Structure 1
Amino acid sequence: MTTLQQNDPVSEYNTSLWNNGTQTGKDQARKQKRRLNYYSNILVIKDPANPENEGEVRIFRYGKKIFDKINDVMNPEFEDESPVNPFDFWEGANFKIKVRMVEGYVNYDKSEFDPIAPLAGSDEELQSVWEKQYLLNDFLAADKFKSYGELKAKLNRVLGIGIDDAEDTSTP
């Protein structure tokens, strides 16, 4: 719901846990906090694990770490660095995903951008990639999200709160 700039019962519950003054409440809120996901159209250049994906346009879902890498190249911190829009078909940059395990967790720190280069060798190839892109606005369509009431009812079920004990489940 927060994606749609609306109230979200889980976020409200986590806020109450965080503000209850206990370390247990804060720990629980951290465990169930909102996980940011971002989506981009990508052209798979090389995929040794799944070579059938090479040359295909796919939707790539990624988290904050990769988003930060994209944001850093688009909005450089230092004056001597030029901004790059990696999504530009003519002056963009391929992103090489390098996955490592660090202390038992997946880590993308070694992922990096190639130098600026056109996405493809000809206008026809660029047109083909353009036409294969997915509509990302579909991820933001209101009908893809449960209502506040549905989410509140599910949260109450998960927490074991009876319907008589629950607060009003209508949208505030």
Structure 2
Amino acid sequence: PARPYLLMVGTLEPRKNHAVALHALARLKAAGLPHRLVIAGGRGWLFEPIRRLVDELGLADDVIFGGYVPAADLPALYTGAACVLLPSLYEGFGFPVLEAMACAAPVVCSNVSSLPEVAGDAALLVDPHDPVALADAVALVLTQPALADAMRALGPPQAACFRWESCAAETAALYHAVAADGP
């Protein structure tokens, strides 16, 4: 059978923090957790340093640069992933977290920017500057089936909190409350 894989979705650019993910992958490999890392996203700026780091860390056979993946194909990638990583240094929102959770994939993401609010209690949060913390969190997901199952169960309800219908209903309720208070 093919090796299980970790997944990162998004354009390859520095803020996505692929370097920390690669260092974490190298630690996981050294610890006997030989997963592949699939990176689904277009090549952004500063791609070549990431490509070189893959080689320097001895991960050429462990990292798959999948390129741009159409939105219709992403659910299959999320569903098949052992864990989805988003160690971003900053995010405007963090759609990959919600997409992964909607597909019941366990998520490990940064504890900065918008990600803690988006992820809620359904993900493991780590310092994006700490590859050891990222590797340790991913190792927990990979080695503790009960934890991974709990994360899979918590993900879809967390993602549902951010559906457009929910946002529209909350906004309408706020407008009604403000209007009821009068001028």
TM-score by length of 1: 0.27
Structure of higher CA gyration radius: 1
